[in-house]
Amino acid sequence: MGRLTEISAVLLCGGQSERMGFPKEMLRVDGAPLAVHMVRRLEGLFEKVFVSTNHPAYLRHLLGVSVLEDEVPGAGPLAGILTGLRRCGTRQVFFLACDMPTVHNDAVQTLLDRALGSDAPAVCARCGGAPQPLCGVYAASIAPAVEQAVQQGADRSVQSLLGSVGAQWVELPAFGDVDAPEDLAVLGEVFREVEPLPVRRAPVRRLGGAPLEQDTVAEEWPVTVLANGVRLATVLCTPTALRELAAGFAAYLGLLNGRSGLRSVAVDYEARRVRLELEADEARIRSAVQQLVSSACGAALHGTLPPPVDIRGEHADVRVSRSHLLECVRGLREMAPVFARTGCTHQAAFSDGQRVRIFYEDVGRHNAMDKVIGRALMDGVDLSSGVLVSTGRLGSEVVVKALRQGVPVLAAPSAVTAAAVHLAVRHGLTLVGFARASRVNVYAGAQRVRDA
């Protein structure tokens, strides 16, 4: 059976995830957030796919489908159902919670077949007698009843709504959902690789203010990066997107220039280690390691490593508006789920001049930038015609990371160092600091920034 056109699909995201301490749709599996995989799956079944969430900034840069912001924030799943029924434009809408990745396609097809031949206001799954209202097909005609339930606020239970409108229930094989850290094993039934949860709950004693007994804190791991068996460094980082981190770090050392130079990358989460296999020979790798020195926040280079790319004569036609730079910088914190829960990460992103294409966060500002660059190298994204933005201060190390990829514009809401300005002027990089409120400070390459 081909993709359905009579019924559209909505992936429900954006729950509070209090027990998880982290938004479930952003759990990383097989190299991407769970929501990305769930959307791809739904796209194989439905012609029209949407995502409904009360945190649209987390997802918009990741998905090629429409992200619908809940019309009534804080009203739980009913808000997502109401939004989907109003905006999808089909007579019936299939809803699936993002934390139900083990629902088999055959089970979905059973629900769809039953719904297509029924006039019921809703046709939903039931497993072992237990209702699963967030896996079901809803008729758009019940939107007024959903709105009334949302506005009343006393009982916003989806199951109560379905009882009042007279839903049909279809018995299906049992499937698990992901509601707490101990449920992560459920993801292992569907995906090859499940990355560690990047936060944990920690006891705390608050003195002054409202009482607090537990808080959500960011995970920080020491992760060893090896290239062709040679240890490059041990990096303190957030334990997600470690492939991207390692590839970006190798690019910083001048060992990787493009996807073709990367033979393979493997992560051992138990050993906290990433192994790169590169085209570079062992002598070159060892020479790069010898040029590493410790810095206040990362690993710095000195000596005879290849110089940064000189872009003075290149990308003369690249232009970016002041408003776009400010928009990118403002969006960094909004897009960061770990920061939202902990306040403990830096963020970095790449924009092609129109929208953000790649985004990562990490407890280290250098790591966040390496993850962005690593992802671009692995996906073959050309960084030489866009903008890198970061929440951290712009020192010489970050400038070198940008220059090695031929990036023409580097911006941040923070300060720049004298060494960063020197490198930017010398090699033709547009360097922007203090991108805040309505202003930007352009320290080098001002010809690329339009005051629009």
User: Given the structure tokens 């990787």, which residue do they identify?
Assistant: 256
For residues 432 and 394, give the distance between their C-alpha atoms in angstroms, rounded to a whole number. 9
3-state class (DSSP) for residue 157: coil
User: Closest by alpha carbon to 11, among 26, 21, 1, 22?
Assistant: 26
For residues 23 and 353, give the distance between their C-alpha atoms in angstroms, rounded to a whole number. 28
Give the DSSP H or E segment for 35.
helix 34-43
For residues 107 and 173, give the distance between their C-alpha atoms in angstroms, rounded to a whole number. 8
Give the DSSP H or E segment for 328.
helix 322-334
Contacts of 272 (CB under 8 A, 6+ apart): 221, 222, 223, 224, 239
For residues 224 and 274, give the distance between their C-alpha atoms in angstroms, rounded to a whole number. 6
User: Closest by alpha carbon to 197, among 208, 184, 210?
Assistant: 184
Can you name the residues that pair with 202 across neighbouring β-strands?
A: 215
R_g of the chain, CA atoms, integer Å: 24
For residues 322 and 325, give the distance between their C-alpha atoms in angstroms, rounded to a whole number. 5
Q: Is the separation of the CB atoms in 178 and 103 below 8 Å?
A: no
Q: Is the separation of the CB atoms in 168 and 121 below 8 Å?
A: no
| Active site positions, annotated | 297
For residues 187 and 116, give the distance between their C-alpha atoms in angstroms, rounded to a whole number. 30
Burial 215-226 (b: 16+ CB within 10 A, else e): ebbbbebebbbb
User: Closest by alpha carbon to 405, among 430, 423, 388?
Assistant: 388
**Between the CA of residue 289 and those of 256, 308, 324, 369, 405, what are the distances in Å?**
14, 17, 38, 20, 20
